[in-house]
Structure 1
Amino acid sequence: MEYQEPLFFRVMQWAERADRDVVDMVSGNPDWGSPPAISEGLHEYADLGGDAFQYAPSPGLDDLREEIAARRGVDADRVVVTNGGGMANTLGMARALERDAGDEVIMTDPVYPYYPGKTTMLGGEQVFVPTERDGSLDPADVRDAAGENTACIIVNTPNNPTGKVYSEETLRELVAIAEAVDALLVVDEVYDHFDFTGEFTSALTFDSPNVVVTNSFSKTFAITGFRVGYAVFPEAHVDAAISRNMLTNVSTTRPGQYAVLHALRETDPDYYAESRALLENRVDAFTAALDEAGAEYSTPDGAFYVLAKFPGFPGTLENVRALIEDAGVAGMPGTGFGESKAEWIRFALVTPRVDDAAARLTDYFA
């Protein structure tokens, strides 16, 4: 799967430049607002001045690393704070590929589109395994694809675009496969706070030297513009990851890290619960409209995406543009996520206008 240009930006430009009102359901920018502690942290930081306005340590602010480590049950030395979850994934994949342990990166189809692009950028070879219709991943398919040339296995749970939350047993088997072929299993857990099942299992549950877990505060705190993420590396790979992070980024934004640290300490658990409840209500409203429109669709276990398949209207880039111009709704073409979802369109439910979009799709297709 070649991915030269991120299609997200092309589709968003079409939505912005359309001659009509368009409900943008393309990108995962949360609309419900950040917790007050984010702003409080920024204001507090603004008054510090001096040394606080200089380079942060390349692995991240010590206090933030310690806070993350305490929450994830790991040693703080294993935490590397990054420029968003994207850089965390890049560091994990790069470390997997630079060990002379092979050049294949196994990923799912459908896939979060940046994984194939990063693989190509890092000189790796893309290998895809299918998922079930509901987004479930059968570890046996990964086992069949894995071998001596497998450097990395990358998955995300809750999943984008399917919304599937992988079971504890699935993750356990993926860890075992990675250990058996000496691959690094990179598990992207960026949507961990948006689990509707109550059954999310972190890959950090398994004490393995082959597991890298990545995450970000972009979705959790609705701060996609802050670019504060992190990766938890096995001890043997931390120094190399920190060196690559230093050479690539020097360090991550101090104001963002300071605000995130303040928010982690001060945000009430109700904030997370209310965000999940809001999304569950949106899923119900949106899928009800898809029923009226005669569409097939996914019902997510987590995250905030719904995949829909409309009769006679495959998820091509051209059809997505037609949907923008004729229905006033912008989604992502299924072809951008791999061959298995070429007939589908993905919608991000991070807009207060979900009901408007649902009504427009019903009118257009019903």
Structure 2
Amino acid sequence: MDYETPLFFRVMEYADAADRDVVDMVSGNPDWEPPEALRDGLREYADLEPDRFQYPPSEGLLELREEIAARRGVDAEQVIVTNGAGEANYLAMARALERDSGNEILLTDPVYPYYPGKTTMLGGTQRFVATEDDGQLDPAAVRAAASEETAAIVVTTPNNPTGAVYPAETMRELVAVAEAYDAILISDEVYDHYDLSGAFASALETDSAHRIVTNAFSKSMAITGVRVGYTILPPELVDDAKSRHMLVNVATTRPGQYAVLNALRETGPDYYERNRERLRERVTTFTDALEAAGAEYTRPDGSFYVMARFDGYPGTLANVERLIDEGGVAGMPGEAFGDSRTAWLRFALVTPRVEEAAERLATYFD
């Protein structure tokens, strides 16, 4: 079986090898500080007894699972702590396909490229549903695409790459589609703390045995390298997911879980609001420059990505490399996210050099 390396790595390698200074707007690595309590937790951990440096419970530290469960309104037994949202999505998609209720995964277009990759890796087949121009997903279109072969419907809200935030009605209707076809709605909510619209609704708000929610602290706490995420499954799907997690990873970082738990307990809402406000300012700065450059662009309701379209400059890998060499800005080609945004480029606003990048783009496309 052939696996295709995600274009993220190819673009980052090209930018790193460039002969000039390049503003990196490729990957979603927050450039701001993690919660102070996260750092405190890691410092504390260094002085704990030797037994704390051994295997933790495979499904995650009980106290962390209980904290997550209390915040999400579920039973702790439904929570598996994973190596980031990446593993959480892998477990969710695997469980959906293992139910012998179809072999097809419904994905949105545009799509976060790791979902199609995981589908291929797990032996499933892909089917795409185009989103609206504003990134919203019409549940009627999902229902029209669904069939008896549909094992799962995978969505992410707030969305990467469009920045769309799906309202409660959309989430309820997507769960209903999953129920109608004995499928699983997999809702990746890793950007939930970056809802800039106030419209975010979790799939957990709809009680159903046909939905799995995945998440992580990678983005919300600016700790993509710590690798602590989680998945919340219906009770009947938990045991086999725990077994797969154990066989693939054994367990997740114990110091990371300890530090995340400390941060959850000690960090107030002001930390998250400061980061949302930072993003709001960056969105304005960046889109103002795109406006000046005559570009069409998306203004995100959530997450931290902006998509832009420049006349005569489609979102190909070759054009991304050209922009790196000639403009000094690295973004992602729209073609990496599916067929519907091939004319676009995607930029991540997680760099303190957003204003500089915006000026470079405005100059380059003037």
Q: What interval of TM-score do these two structures reach, taking the shorter chain for normalisation?
A: over 0.9
1:64 aligns with 2:64: yes
Q: How does 1:189-208 map to 2 (within 5 A)?
A: 189-208=189-208
Task: Give me the TM-score of the superposition, normalised by structure 2.
Answer: 0.99
**What letter matches 2:131 in structure 1?**
T
1:280 aligns with 2:280: yes
**What letter matches 1:116 in structure 2?**
P
Query: Offset at 1:229?
Result: 0.3
Whole-angstrom CA distance in 2 between matches of 1:58 and 1:6: 29
Paired residues in the alignment total: 365
Query: Offset at 1:44?
Result: 0.9
Q: How does 1:147-226 map to 2 (within 5 A)?
A: 147-226=147-226
Aligned twin of 2:294: 294
- Local SS of the residue matching 2:192: coil
- Is the CA contact 2:95–2:240 (under 8 Å) kept in the aligned structure 1? yes
- Local SS of the residue matching 2:108: strand
Unaligned runs of 5+ in 1: none
Query: Offset at 1:255?
Result: 0.6
Note the alpha carbon deviations across 1:55-85, whole angstroms, 9 max, x for none.
0111100000000000001000000000000
Query: Offset at 1:51?
Result: 1.6
Whole-angstrom CA distance in 1 between matches of 2:200 and 2:15: 34
**What letter matches 2:167 in structure 1?**
S
Query: Offset at 1:97?
Result: 0.3
1:43 aligns with 2:43: yes
- Is the CA contact 1:3–1:113 (under 8 Å) kept in the aligned structure 2? no
Query: Offset at 1:5?
Result: 1.0
Q: How does 1:50-129 map to 2 (within 5 A)?
A: 50-129=50-129
CA RMSD of aligned residues (A): 0.8
Whole-angstrom CA distance in 2 between matches of 1:291 and 1:163: 18
Note the alpha carbon deviations across 1:305-338, whole angstroms, 9 max, x for none.
0000001000000000000000000000000000
Query: Offset at 1:50?
Result: 2.0
Identical amino acids, percent of aligned pairs: 67
Query: Offset at 1:3?
Result: 6.6
Note the alpha carbon deviations across 1:73-132, whole angstroms, 9 max, x for none.
100000000000000000000000011111000010000000000000000000000000
- Is the CA contact 1:320–1:333 (under 8 Å) kept in the aligned structure 2? yes
Aligned twin of 2:244: 244
- Is the CA contact 1:3–1:116 (under 8 Å) kept in the aligned structure 2? no
Aligned twin of 2:14: 14
The runs of 4+ residues in structure 1 deviating greater than 2 Å are none
Note the alpha carbon deviations across 1:208-244, whole angstroms, 9 max, x for none.
0001000000001000000100000000000011000
Task: Give me the TM-score of the superposition, normalised by structure 1.
Answer: 0.99
- Is the CA contact 2:22–2:328 (under 8 Å) kept in the aligned structure 1? yes
1:258 aligns with 2:243: no
Query: Offset at 1:49?
Result: 2.4
